[in-house]
Amino acid sequence: MSITEKEQLIQKINTAIDTVRPHLVADGGNVEVVEVTEDMRVQVRWLGTCENCQMSIMTMKAGLEQAIKNKIPEITGVEAVNGVAFG
């Protein structure tokens, strides 16, 4: 994937995230896209209160991942590079 293609993909991902971002901001948090891997996984960084929130894993699966996959079906998953450790 070229740099331009990756930039366009990240722009599409951010547009998808914008559909759930107001809910994150309302709770004092946010999220940013860090990278899209070769196997089409989106890596995000939790910001603000989302970084330490126990609900962030649910927000990841039910909110972010669904919103992104609905708009960009080729995305295989979403994972956080920071935040609450699970398991």
From the CB of residue 11, how many other CB atoms can be counted at a distance below 10 Å? 11
Q: What is the CATH number of the domain that holds 45?
A: 3.30.300.130
Residue 86 within a domain: no
Distance CA(16)–CA(78), nearest Å, equals 13
What is the mean pLDDT of each successive set of 10 residues along the chain, which is 87 residues long? 90 96 92 95 93 84 91 94 62
Alpha carbon of 49 to those of 1, 43, 54, 72, 77: distances in Å? 33, 18, 10, 27, 23
pTM: 0.86
Q: How many domains does the chain have?
A: 1
Q: Which domain holds residue 56?
A: 3-80
Q: In the prediction, which pLDDT does 1 show?
A: 78
Residue 85 within a domain: no
